[in-house]
Amino acid sequence: MNTLVLLTFLHDYTTRARTTVRTRLRSRLGGHHHEAGLATLEMVIIALGLIAVATVLVLAITAAVQRRVDQIT
């Protein structure tokens, strides 16, 4: 249950970060679209989000396995 809440939070956080970055870049560039720079920045944000999600999943799986091992011993 806690993992689902954390994943929802991370998804919301990355979505808001992308929107904020996109808005700030457009205001600084005077409305001109520079897709190459924007795409690179989006890729970095997405990569960081995926790393965070992978870390949370590894921690959740490790904790579940550890609980099962403790039950066996």
Query: How far, in Å, CA of 3 to CA of 8, rounded?
Result: 9
Could you read off the pLDDT of 12-30 as tens digits, one per residue?
A: 888 888 888 888 777 776 6
**pLDDT (mean) for 39-54:** 86
CB atoms within 10 A of CB 56: 16
40 against 50, higher pLDDT: 50
**pLDDT (mean) for 33-53:** 77
Query: How far, in Å, CA of 23 to CA of 65, rounded?
Result: 43
73 against 33, higher pLDDT: 73
For residue 40, what are the domain limits?
A: 2-72
- Looking at the structure of the chain, the number of domains it has is 1
pTM for the complete prediction?
0.48
Assess contact for 25 and 38: CB atoms under 8 A: yes
What pLDDT sits at residue 54?
Answer: 92
DSSP 28-50: HTTT---HHHHHHHHHHHHHHHH
